[in-house]
Amino acid sequence: MEFYYHPISPPSQAVWMVLNTLGVNYGAKEVQLMKGEQRSKEFLKINPMGKVPALKDGEFTLGESRAIAMYLCTAYEPKFKEGKLYPRDAQEMARVNMLLNLDASFYNKIYDYASIGRMLQRQPLEQENLAPAKEALSNLESLMTEYPYFTGDHPTIADIFILSTVKLLDLTDFNGWSEYPKLMKWKKLMETLPQYEKSMGKPVRETAELLKNL
Ligand SMILES: N[C@@H](CCC(=O)N[C@@H](CS)C(=O)NCC(=O)O)C(=O)O
């Protein structure tokens, strides 16, 4: 199985963390986004959208990070494992799906503010996009229950994707976390997971370093 990614890309980091948590064997292929490799004929056969992450599993190819995560868990997570990343119970799965769908719109709102593209071009962040980003954080805060993770007492792929979304703010000087106490506590907990550092912690720190030294 080949995983096509770029370390700076939050959806790539989320899929990376899913792959590493599942413990499946894969080859990681970094796609040179700055050189436009994502638009090459070869890569477009793997993901016609020309985006990372993407996956090739035998002859099967797939784009879209959340779909990739759902596929990986459906194909490779043992059926009877406790505390699954992607639960098979219809209602638990539905809640994970709901959060993944919501996360796709929260990601866009937070990215509009914490835009890696703008930061790479040394353009200032657009302050009018801060309010919608904070609204996404408030929505996430309101989706947290008495459980430590979004859907219960163990993390799922929804937690992993939401983490990659909110970590965009670690690339900025955002310091409003205290307004979202449940989310802040959850974020700290997620950052202690065994596969976090390799798949997300280190790449985000290196991205922040790169942006600081432009
Ligand atoms: N909805 C897609 C978004 C993927 C995406 O936007 N990938 C960016 C990197 S974060 C990319 O490949 N950009 C290259 C380009 O657009 O040329 C997903 O979740 O997989």
Which atom of ligand 1 approaches the CA of 116 most closely?
10
Asked whether residue 186 is assigned to any structural domain, the reply reads yes
Are both 48 and 98 inside the same structural domain? no
Per-residue pLDDT 10s for the chain (214 aa) are 999 999 999 999 999 999 999 999 999 999 999 999 999 999 999 999 999 999 999 999 999 999 999 999 999 998 888 889 999 999 999 999 999 999 999 999 999 999 999 999 999 999 999 999 999 999 999 999 999 999 999 999 999 999 999 999 999 999 999 999 999 999 999 999 999 999 999 999 999 999 999 9
pLDDT at position 81 is 86
Among the listed residues 92, 97, 72, 74, the one whose alpha carbon sits nearest the alpha carbon of residue 21: 72
Q: What's the number of domains the chain is made of?
A: 2
Nearest CA to ligand 1 atom 14: 51
Among the listed residues 146, 128, 141, 196, the one whose alpha carbon sits nearest the alpha carbon of residue 167: 196
Are both 113 and 149 inside the same structural domain? yes
Are both 44 and 95 inside the same structural domain? no
Are both 125 and 152 inside the same structural domain? yes
Of the candidates 44, 76, 108, which is a domain's last residue?
76
Asked whether residue 82 is assigned to any structural domain, the reply reads no
Pocket of ligand 1 (CB under 6 A): 9-11, 33, 38, 50-53, 64-65
Domain that holds residue 128: 90-212
pLDDT at position 25 is 97
Asked whether residue 135 is assigned to any structural domain, the reply reads yes
Are both 204 and 109 inside the same structural domain? yes
pLDDT at position 47 is 98
Nearest CA to ligand 1 atom 9: 9
pLDDT at position 80 is 81
Asked whether residue 140 is assigned to any structural domain, the reply reads yes
Which atom of ligand 1 approaches the CA of 15 most closely?
20
Asked whether residue 114 is assigned to any structural domain, the reply reads yes
Asked whether residue 43 is assigned to any structural domain, the reply reads yes
Q: CATH no. for residue 71?
A: 3.40.30.10
pLDDT at position 168 is 98
Ligand 1: residue of 3, 34, 52, 164 to mutate (most ligand atoms within 8 A of CB) is: 52
CA of 33 to the centre of ligand 1 (A): 10
SS (HEC) of the chain: CEEEECCCCHHHHHHHHHHHHHCCCCEEEECCHHHCHHHCHHHHHHCCCCCCCEEEECCEEEECHHHHHHHHHHHHCCCCCCCCCCCCCHHHHHHHHHHHHHHHHHHHHHHHHCCHHHHHCCCCCCHHHHHHHHHHHHHHHHHCCCCCCCCCCCCCHHHHHHHHHHHHHHHCCCCCHHHCHHHHHHHHHHCCCCCHHHHHHHHHHHHHHHHHCC
Are both 51 and 111 inside the same structural domain? no
Quote the tokens at residue 199.
């798949």
pLDDT at position 34 is 93
